[in-house]
Structures are given as C-alpha cells and as structure tokens.
Amino acid sequence: MSGAMKDLFASNRSFRHVWFSQLSGMLGASIMTVSAGIAVLAYGGSAAVIATILAGRSIGLFIGYLTLGGLTAFFSSKRLMILTDVVRVVSTATVAFGIVTGAFWISALAVILTGLCESVFTPASRALLPLVVGKADLLTANGMSAVTRNAMAVAGPAVAGGMLLLVDPILGVLINCVCFALSALALVGVPDLTRDGGRLPLTPRGYWSSLKDGAHAVRSTPWVWMFTLAGGLQMFLVVGAWSVLLPVASVQTGWGDSAYGVVLAVYAAGGLIGGLVAVRIRRHAAVAGAVSIALFSLAPLGLVQDSFAICLILVFAGGAALQVGNVLYDTLFQQHVSPEMIGRVSALMMLPSTAVLPLSYLIVGVAADLVGADSVLLIGGVSAAFVMAGFALLSPIRRLELVKDEQNV
C-alpha cells in the first residue's frame, strides 16, 4: 500500500467505512463465484443450469442499467447502497434455497433480482466516493479500491477452494449473504452527504425526466460517449473471448490441471500492482488510461503462447494495464461529471457493455469451433487494442486531465 493510500485510510473515517463495504462485497462475490457452480453440480444441476443462472444476472443488470439509473436523483447514494445490500442478502439466500431444493428456477429468478440490485449499487457507489474523499484524493481512493478488488480476487477463490475440501459448497453462497450484510453495516457509519442540497420528491414524470437528463449528459459530453462506445467495443471484441476461452486454452495447451487457477491468480496479482501504479500517474491521464486498456490485450494474447512462463508474464502485464486504465477513467469520470449526474450517467455508460457481453459469448463460442480458439483470441485482442489506441488519439481525450486541487469539493 502506498503512502498516500495509508494517509487517506488513516485520516478519513468515512472512507474506511466505504472501503470495508468494498472489501466485504468483493470477498463474498469472489467466494460465491467458485462455490455457486460447484454447489449447483453437487445438488444435481448441470452446466445448462449454471448458464441459466449466469444469464439471469446479466438480464437483471441490463434491465437495471436501462431503467433504474434515475434513482440516484431521488435517494442518497448511501441509502441506495444499504437497501440493495439488504435485498441481496435475501436474494442470495433464495439462490441457496433454490439450489439445495433442486428448484433451480427459483435461483435463476433470485439472481435476476441480485443483478437489478447490483445495477443500482455500482452507480451509487461511484456517486458516493467523491462525496467522501474529495476530488484531489479520488485517484488514491480508486487505486486502493483496485488493489482491494484484486487482492480479493486472489484470496476469495483460495478461501473457497479450502472450504470445498471441508464443507458443503452451499456454505460459500451463504457466506456471500453475510458479506452483503457486513457491507450494509459498514455503510451505516458513513454520514449522509449530498452536493445538491436535497432531493426532489419521486414522481413518475420526474423519474423519467431524470433518466432523460442522464442520457442528455452522455450525449452532450464527447469524451463520455466516446469512452462508452470504445468500452462497449472492447467488451465485445476481447473481454468475451478472454472469459470464454481462458479455460479452453488452459486445457488445449496441456499446461496441466492447475493452469486455469494459476492464470487467474497471476492476472489478479497484475491488477493489484496496476492499482498501485495508477495512483502515480498525474499527467495525460486520459491518454495513459486508454493506452493501458489497449494493453489489456496482452492477457488474451498470452493464452496463445506455447510457453506457460511467457503466458503468465503477458497475463500479468495485461491485468496490471487494465487496472491502470480503470482507475484513471473512474477518477476522471468522478472528477469531471457533475456530482448529481454521476449515478445516472454511470448506469447509462455501463448499459452497452452489459448488452453486448452475452452476444460476445455466443459469437466467441461459435467462432472458436469454426476457426479455433487461438485465432479468435488473436483477432479479438489485436482489434480491441487498435480500437483503444485510436480512442487515445481523439482530441477530447488528449485534452482531458485529472483535477489536481480541491475545487468544487
């Protein structure tokens, strides 16, 4: 942890509460990622059931990002985050109930609710952070979040793997309930902070107007809609290929049964280092962020290597680069979008990526059967890198810089 991160953590009580909420949520999610699929199979489910449950989350996210982004105009970010955490305690417990009883359709419906809650929680958390730390400390706060996220991506599967040797896999799903509850309790300690002097009463007309205002903010801010488009293309071209073909490549290359887990751990370790590196970048942040996201393509390109050592080097570099880009663009977004619009704009920015990812999964699966996994990874990785490199050259991106003082905080 850098000195700036330590100082922020020590001096800002509200941020400590937000950070613990992040830690709890990320740990629970990473444990459940491993445990849920194993639990489905242990209770008589199949790969099709797992796919259905995953699709339910995607459906919930898409509907939520499309329709629920306006809630941040009427309720405080803190309260929305607490409410969605509490609802996710119930929905995740329902997922566990559906798995244990073999009523997997109940789990699929409950996961849709979980996705809806996530679509509210994530934009609200983006809107809350600038209220807690101020613009000048946002880069440090986002870097610390990235470090935490990737540390949990390593620790969570390790914990889940140990649990699977000792206890029923459904316990991993129930632990996620506990983590959501701990997240909500941590957020209770954050003061009710607002920038806009209060909230308007919620009415149907006012709600849809708030969504339109968010859409107008996206359309009228060139770098925002450009990044939204580039991010959607990146998701379609390379993230889908990385997600689907990583286990396939691990098997086909003959690296051994543990290769899949090792690659994921090295990727997360790279992301941890990327979070530390990002907080040191102060100039040309938008260009540096776009180039870093372009370099994520090193990770999928690593999967086509014959040497496992070279693969791990490229995966580590790709994971680090992606987190540098994510931290920089999260910070730029929170600094340059007006505080009252952050939640709405954030939801709309996530919508294209959420919509195209299931389509990417489908196309990647078919293309890999037709031309081979290596070809799909190469084409996707190189084309995505060119998209983000071209994005870095656009004039609005070259002019976009980090805020270096506390103005408007």
Tens-digit pLDDT profile for residues 357-397: 888 888 888 888 888 888 999 999 999 999 999 999 999 99
Q: What is the pLDDT of residue 1?
A: 60
Say what percent of the chain tops pLDDT 90: 40
- The closest of 327, 302, 331 to 401, measured between CA atoms, is 331
Cβ atoms of 174 and 36 closer than 8 Å: no
Q: Is the pTM of this model over 0.85?
A: no
Q: How would residue 197 be classed by pLDDT, with cut points 50, 70 and 90?
A: very low
125-182 pLDDT, tens digit per residue, is 988 998 888 788 889 999 988 888 888 887 877 777 777 777 888 988 899 999 999 9
Residue 358: per-residue pLDDT: 81
- Name which residue leads in pLDDT, 248 or 214: 214
Instruction: List the one residue out of 283, 292, 277 whose CA is nearest residue 404.
Output: 283
- Angle 285-295/308-336 helices, nearest 10 degrees? 150
State pLDDT tens for residues 210-234. Answer: 888 889 999 999 999 999 999 999 9
pLDDT digits (tens, 9 = 90+) for 82-119: 999 999 999 999 999 999 999 999 999 999 999 999 99
Q: What residue type is 151 in one-letter code? A: A
pLDDT digits (tens, 9 = 90+) for 118-134: 999 999 998 899 888 87
Q: How high is the pLDDT of residue 116?
A: 94
pLDDT band for position 75 (50/70/90)?
A: confident
Residue 408 confidence class, pLDDT cut points 50, 70, 90? very low
Summarize the confidence of residues 310-339 as an average pLDDT: 92
Task: Give 256's pLDDT tier (boundaries 50, 70, 90).
Answer: low
- Contact between 403 and 335 under an 8 Å Cβ cutoff? The reply is yes
pLDDT value at residue 405:
56
pLDDT, position 407: 43
Residue 204 pLDDT > 80, yes or no?
A: no
pLDDT digits (tens, 9 = 90+) for 2-44: 677 888 888 889 999 999 999 998 888 888 877 888 888 888 8
